[in-house]
Amino acid sequence: MNRIPIWMDCDTGTDDSVALMLAHALPELDLQGISTVCGNTIQDNAFWNTHRINGLMGTSYPVYRGAEQPLMKPLVTAAHVHGENGLGDVELPVPEGAVIHEEPAWDAIYACAKRFPGELRLIATGPLTNVATAFIKYPDLPGLLHSLSVMGGSAGPGNDTPAAEFNFFVDPHAAELVMHSGVKLVMCGLDVTLQAYFSVEQLDELAASGTRAGWFTKACNMRAWKILSRFGMPGFCMHDSCPVMYVAHPELFEGEMAGVVVETRGTVANGKSVTDLYSDKQFPFKNAFVVLKVDREKFIAILRDCILSIG
């Protein structure tokens, strides 16, 4: 099988960690490297957490540091959901001998795209600061990539504010720049990611499997669950696994091409992804494939098997 080259850009992060496990374990994918961005937690945590996940998986994917701050806004993190350390306050060791790469995220992404012209799928599961910075520095990068799959935005309501989804709220300027970069864009927003959840029983089963990866998947989510269960959520959303799964298994998803613009100047709607999906008024462009539906059972079955395969 010809494996698909991918690059992960993450604000690691509890569900980012699970997405990394999926990116590693899906046999269709060939993970080339990982870059880290501030978002759920500060850059330093995201960077070392990614090494910690390498340790958990027994892998040594190269990890590159990216942005410490959003392009134009002060950083807002999500410690209330992802814990002070970004991993739901679960302690994992940094693996011995973790290699520190000095090359910044944007240079590493570009170098990888040059190695796989037209083939590399860039997958972003945090604010789009690193991706936007790479696109500014390397204007040919959007055309060099096969595509960019993001977790971010929402055609409906938000989760960080009534209007905005967290990743786009943290760096709306980056999201808006990326929207109009010309890259082939797949947007996995809350519309689909809220359907992609583990039930409480399914997480219990993972934890009872006796595997470290299964244990961690439950443990890192327990802090968030105390908050999210109060809002009537049916389970633990694996937001960031959606764009990864989409690359390997697009047949599990449904969506539509749409015009999408990110609000950067508003106050109540700051960071809102405005789409023309449900409006008679259309933007004069269709710049993103907005994913709206997933076959949850198949999605969860594949994700569970991948986590368990890590051991």
Asked if 76 contacts 169 with a C-beta cutoff of 8 angstroms, the reply is: yes
Asked if 136 contacts 242 with a C-beta cutoff of 8 angstroms, the reply is: no
Please give the Cα distance from 97 to 81 (Å, whole number).
30
Residues of span 201-240 touching Ca ion by CB under 5 A: 240
Residue from 32, 41, 77, 125 binding Ca ion (CB under 5 A): 125
* Residue closer to ligand BDR, measured from CB, 78 or 134: 78
Which segment (9-17, 27-35, 57-65, 104-112) binds ligand BDR by CB under 6 A? 9-17
Q: How far is the CB of 190 from ligand BDR (least distance, A)?
A: 6
* Residue closer to ligand BDR, measured from CB, 165 or 263: 165
Burial 155-186 (b: 16+ CB within 10 A, else e): beebbbbebbbbbbbbbbbbbbbbbebebebb
Q: Does 35 bind Ca ion (CB under 5 A)?
A: no
Q: Binding pattern to ligand BDR, positions 12-31, x when CB under 6 A?
A: -x-xx---------------
* Residue closer to ligand BDR, measured from CB, 33 or 126: 126
Q: Does 203 bind ligand BDR (CB under 6 A)?
A: no
Of 117, 172, 112, 176, the closest CA to residue 143 belongs to 117
Q: How far is the CB of 203 from Ca ion (least distance, A)?
A: 18
Catalytic annotation, pick one of 51, 82, 146, 239:
239
Q: Count of CB atoms within 10 A of residue 96's CB?
A: 6
Which segment (41-49, 55-63, 117-125, 225-233) binds Ca ion by CB under 5 A? 117-125
Residue from 41, 125, 241, 273 binding ligand BDR (CB under 6 A): 125
* Residue closer to ligand BDR, measured from CB, 5 or 126: 126
Which two structure tokens, joined as six digits, stand for 311? Answer: 């051991």
CB-hemisphere CA count at 13 Å for 195?
Answer: 18
* Residue closer to Ca ion, measured from CB, 111 or 233: 233
Q: Does 126 bind Ca ion (CB under 5 A)?
A: yes
Residue from 13, 70, 127, 153 binding Ca ion (CB under 5 A): 13
Q: Count of CB atoms within 10 A of residue 210's CB?
A: 9
- 3-state DSSP call for residue 257? strand
Q: How far is the CB of 169 from ligand BDR (least distance, A)?
A: 9
Which two structure tokens, joined as six digits, stand for 212? Answer: 């470290």
Task: Give yes or no: 24 in active site.
Answer: no
- 3-state DSSP call for residue 113? helix
The two beta strands, 4-10 and 29-36, are: parallel
Which two structure tokens, joined as six digits, stand for 66? Answer: 């990216």
The two beta strands, 253-258 and 260-262, are: unpaired
* Catalytic residue IDs: 239
Footprint on this chain of ligand BDR (rule: CB under 6 A): 13, 15-16, 40, 78, 81, 125-126, 151, 159, 165-167, 239-240
Footprint on this chain of Ca ion (rule: CB under 5 A): 11, 13, 16, 125-126, 240
